[in-house]
Amino acid sequence: MSKIAIIQRPPVLLDRAATLARAVQSVAEAAAAGASLVVLPELYIPGYPSWIWRLAAGRDGALMGQLHGLLLANAVDVSGDDLQGLYQAARRHGVSIVCGINECERRQGGGTLYNSVVVIGPRGELLNRHRKLMPTNPERMVHGPGDAAGLRAVDTPVGRLGTLICWENYMPLARYALYADGVEVYVAPTYDSGESWITTLRHIALEGRCWVLGSGTLLRGSDIPEDFPGREQLFADPDEWINGGDSLVVDPTGRLVAGPLHREEGILYAEIDVARVAPARRTLDVSGHYARADIFELQVRRTPACSLRQIDG
């Protein structure tokens, strides 16, 4: 059995250093409660660009450009030291961490942002970085499309872990790529919420016969910083729930075992047992005896993986 923790707290929007500090504090709190895996939301550092759902590219181009510039300046370059605080926290507390980031390649002079998620091991090592394959709707004005370098599961102390981000989870072949790679703990950081999303994650647990951890985004009008450009235009109501979170945990039979944590700031805890995965696949193993390899074949074109950085003690 392993205790996992899903952090459902807002970022300090557009402030990488302050959001990283908040993440490190949450990791320490979860580790003190006995968690061995800590999950943070989609694009947590330095926050999901919620404004894209409220601005028009032509009409609001100047404001959109200003916000994009701030997002890019506070994005994470995985090849540098931007995540040093999380690496150190993982090593200090002996926990694995999954965290969503706005990723850039600053050292290569790139201006493209990626919707990415990193998996950090308990020795402070970067185990994987996955870039969202297809940004959804207005997200395409912010993030470039990802690749399959990180479309895989990796071994962690809590089990073989893989991630798909938000509406990637509606891509059957992307899900299957993780199933075929032996995923046992399936992590879905997301900006989505509500009953349809909860139903989706329960279906994935049933389909893949794996543990599913849904990490939702929590954001209220009062969480928007006072100096946020266009705050009065975009987020005038401090009592508005911009996103209600709905973090949850589903077992390999599709049963909700924790959450959804709705419109509530905090940490969602659950005990998971990956030993339940293999018996659940006795009746349905979609990448095994149910795959019908004589009829179907999956081919994943993985580009060369990024240079994953080992953080030494």
Catalytic (active site) residue 103: no
Quote the CA–CA distance of 39 and 44 in Å, as a whole number. Answer: 10
Helix 16-32 / helix 84-93 crossing angle, nearest 10 deg: 10
For the chain, the first-to-last Cα distance in angstroms comes to 28
Measured distance CA(134)–CA(258) in Å, rounded:
29
Question: What is the dihedral sign for C-alpha 265, 204, 120, 102?
Answer: negative
* Token couple for 308: 């994953």
Give the span between the Cα atoms of 303 and 7, in whole angstroms.
31
Out of 99, 104, 166, 306, the active site residue is: 166
Tell which residue, 213, 195, 158, 192, has the closest CA to residue 3.
158
Contact (CB, 8 A) for 11 and 267: no
125 is catalytic: no
Concerning whether 42 is annotated as a catalytic residue, the answer is yes
- State the Cα–Cα distance between residues 186 and 210, nearest whole angstrom: 7
- Catalytic residue from among 103, 104, 132, 184: 132
Active site residues: 42, 132, 166
